[in-house]
Structure 1
Amino acid sequence: MEENSAMAVINTNLTSLASQQNLKKSQSSLATSMERLSSGLRINSAKDDAAGQGIANRMQANINAHSTIARGINDGISLMQTAEGGLDSINEMLQRGRELAVQAATGTLSDSDRTAIQNEFIQIREQIDYISKNTEAFGKTPLAPLPPEAPADQLGSVQSIRNIDPKIGQSQSSGLIPLGFIPADAQSFQMTIDSFSQNDDIQVFTRDGKHLIGTHPSAGSAWSSTTNPSESVQSVTELENKVFTESNGFSSGANYDDSFLLDGATFFDTANPQSISYNGINLTYSGDGNALGSNVETLKIDNITEPLFVMVVGEGVFKIDQFEWRDAPTPALSPISEPVNIVTGASVGDSVKTITIEPSPSDSETLGVAGVNLSQQASASDALSLFDQAIKKIDGYRSQYGALTNRFEGAIENHRQQEISMSAAQSRIQDADYAVETASMVKAQILQQAGTSVLAQANQIPQNVLSLLS
């Protein structure tokens, strides 16, 4: 006889348990639908769609990057617009300066007329420098001078005077290799030598070959070594070949120039030395006293504005009795222009991409008009080419900013479009479809109501067993 599987029981109401399970499912579905409808998101936690949640999160990072990059590029455009406004003002100043140069070059003007013109140009030059240093945006000064270069410690194989041992009071050999070079940040350099009755002379040169202090290479014994004939010089050509070498720190193609030479062979007086000025540098020299029986030479250099090579050449042996200087005080901080990197790409997984806004230094020194002199007719004529070059440089800066602004505007449009496209793609993955979710909610609500009703009836089934006991 087959056992009946539909037993009449009280302890375990299988129908009620099945109804409860289905009711829980409909409750969960209803809760999910209501959560999605209330948040607007299909994915509210990783359990909803683990892969989709990761993809949507990466998309959100890219969307944020596109928006932020667009704002940063707009800041770059604002920086360039500020700089171009300053350049426009400087261009007007240069145009006026050129107009003054044309006026000063006219032969009908008197010296007092040109002095008045020069005074006006001085005001123009100061205004150019003011605009250059005070045109500022986002803490940047794009028109200010470039950072000053740190003075070198070595030129060729020649060391700065800071790094050499002058061997004070010791005998040493003269020669065609500089003792050292005086850097542009040194001050009040002083040197005294004793040539021991031999004709050994101090020589001072610039890097490009200008002979400032000493004796001309045609002076005979001053450039003739008795102990080492290979160290002798008898002509300008020989001096250029033996002294003006890159190993000695001189510029490539340096040529001998004695137009500024304070020639020691023509005078000697340690009590009243003679002085010259070159490029703002003041040099004071006692001259060569060998012809008068004196072995001592003194040299003093103030306001050093460029590297100077110091040599002692001659018949053989000398000693240094004084060799000292002071370091220039640290200059006051002033605005400088530096490159500005603008981020143009920062997608997830990629390296940061940037475009550099190059500096456009527009101070009078960089533009080449700081030394313009309109007080003389000849120098006024020469100034025209300087103004032309300065205006050309300003035009180049403005052209650079204009091209870069157009590029940045195109980049902004591209990022905006990418942000829109990426947002649409993210929406398809992450956002809730209200038509679908509303239908799911209605379905879950109906199942909820039906499940509740059925569960109530299922809970009444055990009571039917009581009829068997009556």
Structure 2
Amino acid sequence: MSYIPKGAKGVEIIIDGLPGAEDDIQLFTRDGYHLAGTKIEDGADNDYTWRANGITGTADAAKIMTAENGFLSGDYKLPGDGVMSGTFNDGGATKDTWSLGGGSTVAFQRTAGSGEMHITYSGDYDRLQDTPNKGSIPGRDNPDTTRERIYIDEVTEDLLVIISGKGIFNIDTTWGDMPKVTATLPEGSDANLSVLSIETQARAQRALPRVDQAMINTNSIRAHLGSMQNRLENTVTNLEIQAENLQASESRISDADAAGEMTEFARSQILTRTATAMLAQANSLPGLLAGLLNG
């Protein structure tokens, strides 16, 4: 689980779900709109990557759409319902048109009047998988491609990223601009308590509402910062897991197989000794022949 704050620009996420793991990028809003990735569906059409995580249909989406994961709602929703414009982006490519830097681009916008957010998603064109790397849509399965990319030009609201599948992947994330995390007081509030006076009972009574409001504002800011801290901690945890996966992958590639190397060494020794013995025998033949002729 990762968090992309409102105001971020040029955000690019590329994952490589290692063969057999088949991990996919999923992009959500905090109130439960699934914008890009692999759609959660009911019945036999539900994708393998979701089933591998125990999500067998839309009713199970609440298992991941929790407050702990940063969601404000456990209701699974798709764009195009009159509140969030746009259509769900599943990459849209086929085997003949797919490229990591390509895919489909969809504009999303809240009907309340927020700015447009353009999301480009390539997918790995393994849609509606029954098994890893095997899609059930003709022309949209390929066992050789495990990489996919998502790009957002400008984030108009806080977003959440989930990687569905078995959790064995490499990830690369870049961005052009990331907003500063700030905490602001509600509009019209005044936190300057130094100008208050409690010299008289009347002034103290007039000051009480402002003190109460300041306490409410303080609690609100603390809750906001606590929420941000939780998301950052989740991001750090994900990065640590990814680093561990990367290190494990590197070890599998670079570490020598001691048993295999010893077997190969013994084989080489046997071949060398055999060749030496044969050469010695060949060198002795002329002497034997000369002895027979002289005799």
Which protein shows a greater Rg?
1
The structure with higher relative contact order (CA 8 Å, sep 6+) is 1
TM-score, normalising length: structure 1: 0.32
Using the size of structure 2 for normalisation, the TM-score is 0.49
Q: Name the structure with the higher helix share.
A: 1
